[in-house]
A and B are shown apart, each in its own frame.
Chain A
Amino acid sequence: MKTKSGFMLRSIAGCKVVVSVGKRTLDFNGIINLNDTGAFLWERLEQGATEDELVKAILENYTDVDEATARQSVVNFVKTLCDAGCLDD
């Protein structure tokens, strides 16, 4: 899975936002606000991480979460991005 080219993750006043910088992403009519975990996963999705790699990255970086919770979180996040048209097929 990979984020579509044409999105840019940046920090505005301490908040992580994803903005659109290309025609391919213009159908996403808005600006995405991400929390810290969302931004963490987005950065990995920019590199084309798989679901398993995202879960592994969460488990390595967050000590207060078990694998089932991490996987559910990844699935929810990926679904949200897919619905918003942010990921390449």
Chain B
Amino acid sequence: MTEAGQSAPRRLVSLKELEPLIREAFAAGKAFGLPVTGTSNLPTLSPNRDSILLGRADGPLKKGDLPLYRRSSGQYVLHRVVSVQKDGSYTCCGDNQCTLEPGIRPEQIIGKTVWIRRKGREFSPRHLGYRLWVWFWVLVLPRREALFRVRHAAGRLCRKLFPGKFKDHT
């Protein structure tokens, strides 16, 4: 017998492996909990801190929705819809990114974020504060690169002025 309290060998579970379970949960009318991985949705969602519930995307997505989709390359991505095209496809972009990804078709969508746990607080994507943040962050998308540069410069300055007080992310 293997010691039950001893964890199984650590292995990363890919979203490809999880997709059937996600669909099983949707078929049972449930949402699927996913930890946030990667930094592409900072500052909204942080890896190893935040998590989301993924629900079935009933009907077309709207601007501001945060879906999980599968790229043609097979890669799974959680990026925000920043515009909906007339042909029904979506243009997506991570909150920590400036490069748009156009041409995401509805059949590539696995599900969309229906519940968020951020810094230990839980809320629906319909929460007013969250919606205002999303509205603002999508609005400033064309200026995001400049904002990132300002943030980077401010961080550098703070680290110089108060060494040891701020984390160095570089």
B32 touches A20 (CB 8 A): yes
Secondary structure of the B contact surface, majority rule? loop
Q: B6 at interface (Cβ–Cβ under 8 A)? A: yes
For chain A, which range describes its interface: under 10, 10 to 19, 20 to 34, or 35 or more residues? 35 or more
A10-B18 Cα distance, complex, nearest whole Å: 10
B8, B30, B53: the one within 8 Å of A38 (CB): B8
Stretch at the interface among B9-17, B85-93, B127-135: B9-17
Whether A37 sits at the interface, judged by CB under 8 Å, is: yes
CB of A12 to closest CB in B, whole Å: 5
Fill in one digit per residue for B1-30: 1 if any A CB lies within 8 Å of its CB, else 0.
111111111110100011001001100101
Contact B51 A29 (CB under 8 A): yes
Residue in A21, A35, A41 whose CB lies within 8 Å of B32: A21
Query: Does A34 count as interface, using CB distance less than 8 angstroms?
Result: yes
Contacts of A54-73 to chain B: CB distance below 8 A? 58, 62, 64-65, 69-70, 73
A17 touches B1 (CB 8 A): no
- The complex places the Cα of A21 from the Cα of B10 at a distance, in Å, of 21
A8 touches B8 (CB 8 A): no
